[in-house]
Amino acid sequence: MPLLAFATLLASLGLGMLVPALPMLTAGEGPAAQSFLVSLFGVARLVCSLPAGWLADRLGLRRVAVAGLLLLVAGSALGALDGDFRILSLALALQGRARRCSRRSP
């Protein structure tokens, strides 16, 4: 699980580095687009909470954690592409889901 903890740390750092760059990344979209992107990450985590806990009970925590790590990698790779606002939105949503899936349920 050290790899999973390291991936979670990198995801937090990645989002923290993204927020100051939002004005440049959403140029022409307006301030509402910036708020949407920041909120999308949290909403994706919220929506994924119950299904992640249910899947962890059914399939085991390790499998769900690995799936979350794969989603995190996919979201990060997608976010690294020089794409438009929709691609950036999808990447942040994937990363939000991955962060929630990779955490232990209380």
Predicted local confidence at residue 105, as pLDDT: 44
Q: Label residue 31 by pLDDT band (50, 70, 90).
A: confident
For 45-102, write each residue's pLDDT tens digit: 888 888 888 998 999 988 888 888 788 778 777 777 766 778 888 887 877 766 555 5
* 78 Cβ contact partners less than 8 Å away, ≥ 6 residues apart: 87, 90, 91, 94
Compare 65 and 19 and report the one with higher pLDDT.
65
